[in-house]
Amino acid sequence: MSIFSRSMRVAAIGVALALGSLSVAQAEEGKTAFPDASRIAAVGGSITEIVYALGEEGRLVARDSTSTYPESALKLPDVGYMRALSPENVLSVNPSGILALAGSGPKEAVDVLKKASVTYIEVPEAFDHQGILDKVRIVGHALGVDDKAATLAKSIDADLKAAEELTAKVGERKRVLFILSMEGGKILAAGNHTAANGIIKLAGGVNAMEGVNGYKQLTDEAALTARPDVILMMDRGGGDHVLAADEVFAHPGLASTPAAKTKALIRMDGSYLLGFGPRTAGAIRDLATALYGDQIKG
């Protein structure tokens, strides 16, 4: 999934340069299916979820640290955070192929992996209904299970349509501000072209940061001007993610917003909320229910 990271590391660059000097076969870039799909390293939480949903988890020999669902995936070797990959770690599991979500990095590490004697297939990311279906079909084709992928995509498509229909007749739409971080009292919020923007729209909300691209640190004035009705945050252990509602709304940039008046704060698991994979229809339902309650149809 393509979320701003505070844990980006570039230590893999040295390894990348060292490995890049080795005489190895050129990776088969541009491949859309693995010649050998028996030992796959999955990079990206939604990619791992899709492999499991296809019933092809027996092919996996490793996952990245964002791949935390299903729980059984945690038994696989962890090759590191998808945006701070080490070629040495990924190749240490002797994969026959690497299936990676777009945005994996750093670029130097990915360049080395693409030059290794292992097929590297990148799966595009789009934060909308169609993007999820495309991911399923691409992953299925890469593994040589197109029929399974078509069946899964059809099921997910129907589930997504039903979830989106929940808010079809809602009147006034809630303005939602997704806050990734409030570290040091600085609000980092999601604009367009982010997973947060995508899920807010699918759940029938309006992104309070519409008109802004990517993640942006807000001034207090900008936060007030956004006029959010609801604050949306990830629910995960540690740091600002465990701030009580009173603490969140004590922030000078939020204290006078409509959200503060009603203490409207929604927290959801990050991989579930922003993963854009097989569970996204459920996330849409949960967020829509939290936003609109009795206004949505059963």
Q: What confidence score (pLDDT) does residue 27 get?
A: 39
Predicted confidence (pLDDT) per residue in 60-116, tens digit = 999 999 999 999 999 999 999 999 999 999 999 999 999 999 999 999 999 999 999
pLDDT at 206: 98
DSSP H or E segment with residue 148:
helix 146-165
Last residue of a domain, one of 140, 163, 186: 163
Q: Chain-wide mean pLDDT for the chain?
A: 89
Task: Judge whether 139 and 50 are in contact, CB under 8 Å.
Answer: yes
Tokens of 135: 């991911």
254 with 290, same domain? Answer: yes
Q: Residue 276: give the domain boundaries.
A: 175-295
Residue 187 is assigned to a structural domain of this protein: yes
7 — phi, psi (to 5°)?
-105, 20
- Same domain for 53 and 196? no
CA-based torsion, 137, 139, 141, 143: positive or negative? negative
The answer to whether residue 259 is domain-embedded is yes
pLDDT tens track for 179-200 = 999 999 999 999 999 999 999 9
Last residue of a domain, one of 163, 191, 221: 163
DSSP 246-280: HHHHTSTTTTTSHHHHHT-EEEE-HHHHH--STTH
Q: What's the pLDDT at 236?
A: 64
Q: Which of 37, 39, 57, 38 is nearest to 47 (CA)?
A: 57
Closest CA relative to residue 94, chosen from 38, 52, 46: 38
Q: Which two tokens stand for residue 223?
A: 């936060």
Tally of domains in the chain: 2
Query: Which one is predicted more confidently, 295 or 274?
Result: 274
Q: Does pLDDT of 24 surpass 70?
A: no
pLDDT higher than 50, residue 10: no
Name the more confident of 28 and 2: 28
Residue 13 has pLDDT above 50, yes or no: no
Task: State whether 271 and 143 are in the same domain.
Answer: no
Q: What is the CATH number of the domain that holds 142?
A: 3.40.50.1980
Instruction: For residue range 171-181, list pLDDT tens digits in order.
Output: 999 999 999 99
Residue 296 has what pLDDT? 83
Question: So what's the pLDDT on residue 294?
Answer: 81
Check pLDDT > 70 for residue 224: yes
The percentage of residues in the chain with a pLDDT greater than 90, rounded to a whole number, is 84
For 99, list phi and psi in degrees, rounded to 5: -115, 105
134 pLDDT higher than 70:
yes
Are residue 241 and residue 103 in the same domain, yes or no?
A: no
Average the pLDDT over 17-42 and give the result: 63
* Among candidate residues 163, 188, 216, the one where a domain is terminated: 163
2 within a domain of the structure (yes/no) = no
